[in-house]
Structure 1
Amino acid sequence: MVQSIRHWGMATGVLEDMGRGETAITALGDKLLGRWDPYLEDSGSLWWLHWQLVNHPEKAAAWHYAFFRWTRQEFTRGELTDALTELAERQQARSKRSTIDRDIDCLIRTYLPGKSSKKGVAEESFDCPLAELGLLRPLQDGDRYAFVVGHKRTLPVLIFGAALLEFVERTRGERQTVALHDVLYGLGSPGQAFKLSENALVELIEAVQEQTGGAIELDDTAGLKQLYLRRPLDPAELLARHYEEQA
């Protein structure tokens, strides 16, 4: 149990490995769980933890692959297991197929509500909080699932804005612009992490633009949609503002 908590804490960015088997809470983890939302009652907290989880490939490879590298909206357990096994073999990783298969099963249970037992409260009935995000749905033919792409009504604007800023800082280099296409489809992008449609993404960016006084601006010149960072802005600032507004 302790090892499991340690692993998921690091995968979601609330814990960090200090070496020699020691673990410490991160500055963000201390603020999130120590002050802002200790019981994860705010939907924004769940979206942020999801964002961190899928962007930690070294700790959550299956999550990162499914959200950013899998190119189809639908999948089966077997298809994802095959794809990740092939990737591991190409990278000469030591991951066994049985381990990958368990990871895919865990991934699905992360985002889908479990089936409660009629005989009482079973362990499987305790759903992962991220199932509330509505990112995944089962299809009628059994072992097939689909990502739910479109508007995410429970995704707060400032939480999205913090994720957007992290992505822009990672990808823009010396440039002051990022193409909207990259924000929607790029590796590690908010569009893919949150499974947004283009319309949903544009609406959120415009809302962030308004909330930040134009620090982030979406411009459409000659049919090319670009995101401009007009002034430096810290993602942590937007996170703090979100929780201040909820207090």
Structure 2
Amino acid sequence: MAPAAFRFSGHESFACRYAWLPKAYRAISRNPSIFFDEEEAMVEMGIGKNMVRSLRFWIDAMDVARADANKTHVLTDFAHQVLGPDGFDPFLEDERTLWLLHWHISSKNPGLFAWRYMLGEWPYPEFTRSEALDAFKRQSAKLGFKHSEVTLSQHLDVFIHTYYAARKGKVAIEDSLDGPLVGLGLLVLSGEKRGPSGRWENVFSFRREPKPDITPQLFEYCVMDFWNRHAPQDRTLSLRVLATMPSSPGQVFKLTEDDVRQRLEDTAVSNANAAFRYQPSAVQAMISRQGAAPTLATIYNESPKHV
């Protein structure tokens, strides 16, 4: 990881909650400056001041809205197309939306430190909280940051709670403390082991098996988004980069290299108008540009997937 403006805070120790993004979209549509008036936002959103600040963080991280110099938020095209009144998924009922939100958080560079490190740099298939926190301390110091253990600990907890349900039992989505990305099942509890203090700790693993809910058009969309940000001038891109580079589709979605290869091959066979052409090779398989990238409309026109 090269030194960069990674974000370690701003979420106020809250993971994004299920109802927040649709509410934020509607609130900004009515009043683009609402999140710069915390008292008004508290009344409008029905949440506390720290949660207002947290939501302001998440609408940026999830590419729902961007702040401008006039202390207003401008809703993104993604937000209008997906969360708008005639949008593809205004209430986050479609699993493809959740994968897209996960992609937005995880693929930015620089972006959120925990997402970049745990999804792109963590070298093991599983981790405990103490193991990850020790790694955060070492890595942040190596990058020249001087964050307190409290800041790093809260940042790690937000990452974990974004993908792992802290509590069980059925509650209304509106009242749930769990966030929308818990439903992706990306992070699973795989056991327990003793930590350095002698206490038992949860062992978390990334779910790496094939994920059919990441549909072909969604995968192709993310491949091209990654390509256009990582190497916009390059006409070709290697399978290895797509599967293993930090912020790549393979790492963000926790797909094996074989799964990424199979997806590229399937796209080449099934879609003559795909944005890329796959060139298999025993040495270094490649894709080359050949057409326009899928749009959000083409993603949502595939067979629907609901949470």
> Aligned in 2, Cα 1:90/1:211: closer, same or farther, shift over 3 Å?
same
The equivalent residue for 1:53 is 105
Change (3 A) 1:81 1:124: farther
SS of 2:165's partner is coil
Equivalent in the alignment of 1:139: 190
CA RMSD of aligned residues (A): 2.5
Q: Is the counterpart of residue 130 in structure 1 residue 181 in structure 2?
A: yes
Which of 226, 241, 245 aligns to 2:298? It is 241
Q: How do 1:150-169 residues align onto structure 2 when only pairs under 5 Å count?
A: 150-169=209-228
Q: Residue 179 of structure 1: which of 218, 238, 257 is its match?
A: 238
Gaps of 5+ in 2: 1-50, 193-200
CA shift at 1:99, angstroms? Answer: 1.1
- Structure 1 residues 19 and 246, CA, compared in 2 at 3 Å: closer, same or farther? farther
Deviation at 1:130, TM superposition (A): 0.8
Q: Aligned letter for 1:243?
A: Y
Report the Cα offset of residue 22 of structure 1. Answer: 2.7
Aligned residues: 243
Q: Per-residue deviation at 1:208?
A: 3.3
Q: Secondary structure at the match of 1:36?
A: coil
TM-score between the two structures when normalised by the length of structure 1: 0.88
- Where does residue 4 of structure 1 map in the other structure? 54
1:29 matched to 2:88? The reply is no
Mapped to 2, the partners of 1:30 and 1:137 lie a distance apart of 32
C-alpha distance in structure 2 between counterparts of 1:39 and 1:146, whole Å = 29
Instruction: Give 2:256's aligned residue.
Output: 197
Equivalence for 1:111 = 163
CA distance in 1, matches of 2:302, 2:272: 14
Instruction: Tell whether the 8 Å contact from 1:116 to 1:125 is kept in structure 2 after alignment.
Output: no
Shift of 1:11: 0.5
More helix per residue = 1
Post-superposition offset of 1:70 = 1.1
Aligned to 2:12: none
TM-score, structure 2 as length reference: 0.72
Query: Larger relative contact order (C-alpha < 8 A, sep ≥ 6)?
Result: 2
Following superposition, the deviation at residue 117 of structure 1 comes to 6.2
Structure 1 residues not aligned, in runs of 5+: none
Answer yes or no: is the 8 Å Cα contact 1:12–1:50 preserved in 2. Answer: yes
Identity of matched residues, %: 28
Q: Deviations over 1:193-224 (max 9, x none)?
A: 00001232123223433335243122113542
Whether 1:226 and 2:286 are equivalent positions in the alignment is yes
1:54: how far off? Answer: 0.9
Match of 2:67 in 1: 17
Amino acid corresponding to residue 83 of structure 2 in structure 1 = L
| Pair 1:56–1:171, CA change in 2 (3 A) | closer
Contact 1:111/1:130 (8 A) holds in 2? yes
> In the alignment, what sits opposite 1:39?
91
SS of the residue aligned with 2:108? Answer: coil
